[in-house]
Amino acid sequence: MKNSTFKWNAKYETGLAEVDAQHKSLVDLINHLGELRASGGSVADVTAALGALADYAKYHFSAEDALMQSAGISAEHTAAHRREHDQFLDQINQIVEEAQGDVMLAIDRLLRYLVKWLAFHILGQDTEMAVEIAALQRGAAPEAARNEAREQVLRGTEVLFDALNVLYDDLGASYVELSRAYAQLQQSSESRLKEAQRLAHLGSWELDLTKNLLTWSDEIYRIFEIDPERFGASYEAFLNAIHPEDRAKVNQAYQDSLRTRQPYEITHRLLMADGRVKHVHERCKTDYDTAGQPLRSLGTVQDVTLQAQAEEALRAQAQVDYLTGLANRRHFIEHGEEEIARTTRYRRPLSLLMLDIDHFKAINDTHGHQAGDAALQMLAAHCRDALREIDIIGRIGGEEFAIILPETAGAGASLVAERLRASIARQIMPTEKGAAVNMTVSIGLAIHAGDDAARLDDLLKQADLALYQAKRDGRNRVCVFADKEAPPPLA
């Protein structure tokens, strides 16, 4: 942060004029704190700035709460947003208390926290709020508005981390810089070292193998959420905090490191007392005596939960169809090929359905694209409810869906397909304008008996040909693939 100034630009604008104006007020407060740091502000100056910050928070959070309620956004989103506001106030109070009257330390910590919070909150929660409100205002259904908001935040994850990286670079506190400067930090004052570790969520530890004595920095206690006065640092406390599914691999990594005398690093999970899961990245090296016996191990632990969650969200932006919540084409094919491999290995039957909404263009043209989206969502929800948990459902294009039925062949597959077709035909979808839409589907069925190897591509082509036949035969029906040349599809 050059010259202690937060640089506002267009990427921080949510599109809600009132909210953006309030965010700019917070930027002014941040810049004022930067001026106090540069000029050596007094206790009175900092106290006045904190008072202004408290007043800002109360007004801004109250205004956002009223906006969310009046717009009618989801209760789930509103509650999550309120928690963010509560945590903001708690963190500000904690920073001031821990500074213990050190004005410059308080300002430094406040600036770093405020800059990071502002970037995350605007590009995360506030962007999500703005998108959901905008969708509701243009007439989207509540669930569709919620999905659109989630999708926007997922698409903006990379923007968020780009913004945060720039801010961290300006603050001189990026993890890379901390790692390179770790030796110098060990020579600095204890308070500065603790502040650097806290900022990077990076703790350090040392294990004296001759005395079996483990020492943790304050930040590791915070990461592990362990009270040093009640529990203290111990290998048992460390193991108990590791997720049960990860304990063996973490212990193996450390033992291999001792055996090979090579440093190691590993990312694993922590299981908190209340069931929450954290992700941490560990590094370790060990010193040895002249005889090759290990003397002490030194290591670092960094909380990388936020990064792990973002990566998981991106993996989900890659696997799930944003409109229906079903597997998208790519993920359906990946999952389907795994099931085909299992089917081939154990010589088990499998069937594949291709569904296509009849006259879908007419639904869009007559009732609007919102009705078309609602029809796709209703069909997806109905398939999920009507089929088994082991069945694999995906949206593979426009109004086309594919379903894999493991362990199902012949008459059983035909019965499932016919029941699904009939139950969909009984559904009535109300539109926002009060009209009622009856929806039917045509279904193509391909069956693999399990007596030889199968290929997903072949089954998809077979089901597709059968689907075309169902369309030609009048729609709202099931056709089973027959091993013969199918007529060309309808125009």
End-to-end, the C-alpha distance of the chain in Å comes to 60
Tell me whether residue 173 is exposed, middle or buried, using C-beta atoms within 10 angstroms of its C-beta: 0 to 12, 13 to 18, 19 or more: middle
User: Is 399 assigned a catalytic role?
Assistant: yes
Supply the pLDDT for residue 483.
Answer: 63
Residues 6+ apart with CB under 8 A from 383: 326, 355, 393, 401, 403, 420
Supply the pLDDT for residue 386.
Answer: 93
Which residue reads 């033992």 in tokens? Answer: 255
Which pair of structure tokens corresponds to residue 130?
Answer: 């703005």
CA distance linking residue 376 with residue 370, whole number of Å: 10
* Max intra-chain CA distance, the chain: 88
DSSP for 453-470, written as a single string: ---HHHHHHHHHHHHHHH
CA distance linking residue 2 with residue 155, whole number of Å: 29
- Can you tell me whether residue 487 is helix, strand or coil? coil
Supply the pLDDT for residue 199.
Answer: 60
> How many C-beta atoms lie closer than 10 Å to residue 470's C-beta?
24
CATH topology of domain 320-480: Alpha-Beta Plaits (3.30.70)
CA distance linking residue 171 with residue 465, whole number of Å: 61
CA distance linking residue 443 with residue 448, whole number of Å: 16
With b for 16 or more beta-carbon neighbours within 10 A and e for fewer, the 200-211 pattern comes to bbbbbbebebee
CA distance linking residue 91 with residue 112, whole number of Å: 12
Query: DSSP H helical segments within 100-141, as ranges?
Result: 103-121, 127-137
Supply the pLDDT for residue 198.
Answer: 64
With b for 16 or more beta-carbon neighbours within 10 A and e for fewer, the 324-358 pattern comes to bebbbeebbbebbeebbeebbeeebbbbbbbbbbb
Q: Which of 399, 407, 418, 432 is catalytic?
A: 399
Q: Which helix (H) or strand (E) holds 428?
A: strand 428-430
103 in Cβ contact with 41 (< 8 Å): yes
Residues 6+ apart with CB under 8 A from 20: 12, 13, 14
Beta bridge partners of 395: 401
Asked, colleague to colleague, whether 2-171 and 320-480 share their fold, the answer is no
> Residue ranges per domain, the chain?
2-171, 178-309, 320-480
To the question of domain 178-309 being in CATH 3.40.50.2300, the answer is no
CA distance linking residue 214 with residue 221, whole number of Å: 12
CA distance linking residue 33 with residue 50, whole number of Å: 9
Q: Say which amino acid occupies 394.
A: G
To the question of domain 2-171 being in CATH 1.20.120.50, the answer is yes
> How many C-beta atoms lie closer than 10 Å to residue 28's C-beta?
14
CA distance linking residue 323 with residue 377, whole number of Å: 7
Supply the pLDDT for residue 385.
Answer: 92
Q: What is the pLDDT tens value at each position of the chain, 491 positions in all?
A: 445 456 676 667 777 777 778 778 777 887 887 777 777 667 777 778 777 877 777 777 788 888 888 888 777 777 777 777 777 777 878 887 777 777 777 777 777 777 777 777 776 777 778 888 888 888 888 878 777 776 666 555 545 455 545 544 444 443 344 344 444 444 444 555 566 566 667 888 898 988 888 888 888 888 888 888 877 777 777 888 899 999 999 989 999 999 999 998 999 999 988 889 999 999 999 999 888 899 999 988 988 888 887 777 666 676 888 889 899 999 999 999 999 999 988 999 999 999 999 999 999 899 888 899 999 999 999 999 999 999 999 999 889 999 999 999 888 999 999 999 999 999 998 887 788 888 999 999 999 988 888 899 999 999 999 999 999 999 999 999 986 444 444 43
SS3 content of the chain, % helix, strand, coil (to 5): 60, 15, 25
Phi then psi for residue 291, to 5 deg, are -90, 0
Which pair of structure tokens corresponds to residue 305?
Answer: 């939960």
Supply the pLDDT for residue 155.
Answer: 56
> How many C-beta atoms lie closer than 10 Å to residue 78's C-beta?
18
Supply the pLDDT for residue 181.
Answer: 40
Looking only at the bridges linking them, the beta strands covering 202-208 and 213-216 are: antiparallel
CA distance linking residue 204 with residue 185, whole number of Å: 12
- Can you tell me whether residue 268 is helix, strand or coil? strand
Using CA atoms in the order 125, 130, 133, 134, what is the torsion angle rounded to 10 degrees? -150
149 in Cβ contact with 141 (< 8 Å): no
